[in-house]
Structure formats: structure tokens, C-alpha cells
Amino acid sequence: MTRYTSATDADRAEMLAAIGVGSIDELFADIPAGLRLNRPLALDAGLSEQEVFEELKALAARSTSAEDEISFLGAGMYDHYVPALIDSIILRSEFLTPYTPYQPEISQGGLQAMFEYQTAISELTGLPVSNASVYEGPSAVAAAGYVATAASKGSRFVISRGVHPHSRECLRTLAHAWDMDVVEAPLHNGVTTLEDLDDDVSAVIVQQPNFLGAVEDLTALAHRAKQVGALAIAACDPLPLALLKTPGECGIDIAVGEGQSLGNRLDFGGPSFGFFAATEALMRRMPGRIAGETKDVDGKRGFVLTLQTREQHIRREKATSNICTAQALNALAGVIYLSWLGRRGIVELVELMLQRTAYARDRLRQIDGVTEIHDRPVVREFAVELDAPVQRVIARCQEQGINPGYALGRDYPEYENGLLVAITERRTRADIDRLVDTLGAAVAAERQTVEAGA
């Protein structure tokens, strides 16, 4: 049985009559005859609903999910446990189906959820103002750069090579339209080195922890930025902020980041949400919108949308953003996750990851043919260099049901055989021991293959 029944000849005749034309050719008379396709499209015959589902199942079977193997992949998207509580709330129609809450009197639940989310992000980042979310981490970095163009006079962004490659590429794409140059600050022993800063720098952008997993000294980097009058921007992993010094405490002006690790599943790369927090001085330049607390005519607590500095509400040339729909549902999952953990729970979670990451790092450095790329402190991710072709090693490990990590060479040619390993709370000591055994055997086998070929 098919699910879709197309228009009949009678339906088409009725529509043409309503439009006031006698035929399809007359309807498209304004399109030059030479541009029209005068034959049916060469499409395969339609499928029934059952056949479509079977085809989709076959396509899905070609993919490997994080549930099909023991995954140590990270690089910005992390395999954390998502409690059942989250789906039970965000799938309620009150949250799942509404559009932008323009009418506060009938949108109090959604607006309060936004307000609670903003409060949680402000607490994590140590900055007083958060918006209601943006699309994802890389666009949040670019949005922070745009704020810097208006708040400072420089014509250059200095962005650390330790910032996620997608974020760097997103910033470069938009900076071209803003007539801004993008300069990369190099890494030394895994952390950012700022050189040759001057008053032509609009913003200094770093990541905490950075892409190689190293914890950066945000206080020193923020100080260097402010010495030349530039904004200090940090792209942050939100969970480690529960243990690390907050961006606000370090003197950072804008903290942004990818929120996937807060209650959002991997979902093959999305959807997720980006967060954006800043100082009060930059509040009116922030993208998107902010939910605020107020009182109604009876003095009761209520919530409204405030400071919507986007092109839908004000003159385009005055807008700071064209974001018209925040990732509110994904952000809601984030604040539910943080509430589920609680202040103590999030600290315990990060401490657990810290302990297991230290164990994995210590075990891996003992493998012959595996060396650390840096020796800086890390939280849940670290980088190693293999004395063997990394893609072949990964393939050997996957044959054993283990994905050992992310191949760094595609983004960092200087680490051609680099491997980025992520340890979340879902990876047990037994999983780590299996990784060590499997990776060690794969490296040894590939080294023997290379030596035999030589």
C-alpha cells in the first residue's frame, strides 16, 4: 500500500480553473520554452510504505553507531549517558511542538525553561549573561567573533590552533565577509603560544580544554589579550568547567561552546546546541535572544523575551544576529541534564572522567610505539602519536569491536599518525584495558607489516 496519492487529472483541472488558466503550459508561459523540460522526469517507480522502510533499514545498517562498538571517539562530540528522564520531558507536546514564545502569557513554561537554562550556563561559565542558545559550537565561536568586531577596533582575529577545526573554519568563512583577517596562534607542548599581539587584534580566541585535550591557562591568555585591547574569547567544553576555574574568573569576556555533552545524544553529529555567555558590557551585542524575569500586573513572577537584537525584530543594519530560532529543545535537554546531576553530581561525574582518563593515559603510554603528543593536564581527552599508520591501526581495532579514537592527521598534518582518545563515564576500566590490549596489538602488527615491506 502506498502512503502518498498524487493529484488526479480532475484535481489538476480544478486547480488550473481556480488560478484562471487553461493548461499547465499556459501556467508556465512566462518561462522560456527552451528552459522547460518537455518530458517526464526519469524517476524509478514509487515504493510502498513497507518498501521504503526496508530500504531505509538497509541504508542505516551501513552505518556504525556508538552502541555497536566500544567507542573512544571524541573531538567535540562525546558518548555520555543520557538519562531516560530527558526524553520523557522534552517529548511532551508543550515543549516539542511550540514555536518561538512571542506571547508570554501563554508561553510561561517554555520561557521559564529558557531562563533556567541561561542561569545554568551563567553558573558554569562564571559570566553574568547568557542567551537562550545558538545553533552549535562552531557558529557560537563565529558569533563571538562578530561581537568582537563591534566591540573593538582591530582588523584581525588571533585564534589558537588548539580551537576545534570546525570552529576555526566557520570563523574564517564569516570573517571574510566582515573584512577581518584570521591568524592562527601556534601550539607548543599542546598549549597556545601568543606571539606578536598588537592593537590591531580584535579578539583572541582559545579553547578550554583545547582540541588536543590540554587544559589552557585562560588567565594568562586573557591578560595578554587585554594588554592590546582585544576581547578574550574562550570556546569551552561545559562539563570540565565544573572543576576548572571558570572563564569569568579568568577574565574572559565571552565564553561559548558546544552543548552536546549536556544531555544530548551523539545522533550521528547532531542536532545539539551552542551556548553563549558574556559580560554585562557586551549584553546588547549578543546574538539571539534572552529570556528575562519580571512581574505581571498582580505582582506575580513571570517571564518574557528581552533584548532580541536580531534582524526579525529590529532594523537589519542594527541587528547583531540573524538567528531566528534558538535550539531551545536541545538546550532544554541540557538544563534538564544539569538539574538531574545537581551541583555535586556534575563534579563527581567530571572527577570520574578525570580518574579514568588518567588511568587510560598511563596505560597507553606504556605501549611500545605509542608516545604522548603533550604532557599537559587533561580532563577526558588526550592525544598520542602512533609509530604506525593510524588509519590502518583504527581499522584493525574496529575489527575487534573497538573504535580507538579520532585520527588527527586530517586536521593536523604535523601529527600524521596522531590519535585523539576520549574517555567518558561510559568507558569502564575493563573497556580501557581492552583498548590498550587491542591498540597495542594493532600497532605491533602494522609495524611488522611496514618492516616486512621495507
Q: Residue range 391-415: average pLDDT? A: 97
Whether pLDDT at 403 is above 70: yes
**pLDDT at site 1:** 53
**pLDDT at site 81:** 97
Say which DSSP state 55 is in: H
The Cα–Cα gap between 430 and 439 comes to: 14
Whether pLDDT at 321 is above 90: no
Q: What is the pLDDT of residues 223-236, one digit of tens each?
A: 999 999 999 999 99
**pLDDT at site 65:** 84
**pLDDT at site 317:** 66
The Cα–Cα gap between 225 and 105 comes to: 44
Let me know how long the chain is.
454
Instruction: Determine contact, residues 222/197, Cβ cutoff 8 Å.
Output: no
**pLDDT at site 145:** 97
Beta-bridged to residue 395, according to DSSP, are none
**pLDDT at site 450:** 78
Q: What is the pLDDT of residues 147-156, one digit of tens each?
A: 999 898 899 9
The Cα–Cα gap between 366 and 436 comes to: 9
Q: Residue range 338-345: average pLDDT? A: 97
Whether pLDDT at 42 is above 60: yes
Q: Residue range 308-337: average pLDDT? A: 74
Q: Kindly state the percentage of the chain with pLDDT values over 90.
A: 75
Q: What is the pLDDT of residues 431-445, one digit of tens each?
A: 999 999 999 999 999
Whether pLDDT at 311 is above 80: no
Phi, psi of 230 (to 5 degrees): -95, 155
Q: Which three cell numbers stand for residue 294?
A: 519580571
Instruction: Place 45 in a pLDDT band, splitting at 50, 70 and 90.
Output: confident
The Cα–Cα gap between 192 and 220 comes to: 10
**pLDDT at site 452:** 79
Three-class SS state of 93:
helix
Instruction: Determine contact, residues 418/412, Cβ cutoff 8 Å.
Output: yes
The Cα–Cα gap between 243 and 79 comes to: 20
Instruction: Place 323 in a pLDDT band, splitting at 50, 70 and 90.
Output: low
Q: Which three cell numbers stand for residue 75?
A: 573531538
The Cα–Cα gap between 198 and 22 comes to: 70
Nearest Cα neighbor of 323 from 268, 283, 274 is 274
Q: Residue range 85-99: average pLDDT? A: 89
DSSP per residue, 279-329: -GGGGGG-SS-EEEEEE-TTS-EEEEEE---BTTTS-GGG-SB---S--HH
The kind and range of the H/E element at 145 are helix 137-151
Whether pLDDT at 327 is above 60: yes
DSSP 3-state helix, strand, coil percentages of the chain (rounded to 5)? 45, 15, 40
Instruction: Determine contact, residues 337/262, Cβ cutoff 8 Å.
Output: yes
Side-by-side strand order, sheet with 156-160: 129-130, 274-278, 254-258, 231-236, 201-208, 156-160, 181-185
**pLDDT at site 314:** 63
Domains of the chain in start order, with CATH, are: 9-38 (no CATH), 70-80+342-453 (3.90.1150.10), 84-337 (3.40.640.10)
Q: Kindly state the percentage of the chain with pLDDT values over 70.
A: 94
Q: Among 18-32, 74-88, 102-116, 145-159, name the one with the lowest average pLDDT.
A: 102-116
Three-class SS state of 239:
helix
Q: How far is CA 148 from CA 153, 171, 253, in A?
A: 8, 12, 10
